[in-house]
Each structure stands twice: as structure tokens, then as C-alpha cells.
């Protein structure tokens, strides 16, 4: 993962939040989980928005996109 993504996981955890991440491979999802992500979704296999709707009834409070592209 990117340094910014890793920092986002750590900040979310420090603030008492859950960190849900997306990644493009199982290896990256596993690595994010090792770094503290609560939920890791492979966006090549599952739609992130659909996964959130399925797992929560309220949605999420914050989404942070650290890709950096338009």
C-alpha cells in the first residue's frame, strides 16, 4: 500500500474508527489487514459501495480516497 494509505489506516485506528480499504489484489488486501485494516475489499472482485451497503445499515461516516488521480 501507499504511505498515505497506511497512514490513513493508522489514523483511523488511533481515532477509534474502523478502517475499510480497497485494493486490487488479495496480497494487498492481506497486507492492509496486517497493518490494521478492519475490512479489506478486493475491488476487482467486489463492488466497494455494495459491500458497505451489505455490511452496514447506516453506511460510513468518512471515505478517504488516497489514489491521487483525477
Domains and CATH numbers, the chain: 3-55 (3.40.50.720)
Higher per-residue confidence, 8 vs 1? 8
- DSSP class of residue 24? S
In sequence order, the 6+-apart residues with CB closer than 8 A to the CB of 9 are 1, 19, 21, 32, 35, 36, 37
Higher per-residue confidence, 68 vs 6? 6
CA dihedral 69, 59, 56, 41 (to 10 degrees): 0
Q: How confident is the model at residue 2 (pLDDT cuts 50, 70, 90)?
A: confident
Quick: pLDDT tens for 7-45.
Answer: 999 999 999 999 999 999 999 999 999 999 999 999 999
Quick: pLDDT tens for 42-67.
Answer: 999 998 888 888 888 888 887 777 77
Amino acid at each position: 500500500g501507499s504511505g498515505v494509505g497506511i497512514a490513513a489506516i493508522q489514523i483511523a485506528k488511533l481515532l477509534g474508527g474502523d478502517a475499510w480499504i480497497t485494493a486490487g489484489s488479495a496480497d494487498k488486501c492481506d497486507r492492509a489487514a496486517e497493518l490494521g485494516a478492519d475490512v479489506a475489499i478486493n475491488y476487482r472482485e467486489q463492488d466497494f459501495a455494495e459491500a458497505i451497503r451489505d455490511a452496514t445499515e447506516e453506511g460510513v461516516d468518512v471515505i478517504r480516497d488516497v489514489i491521487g488521480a483525477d
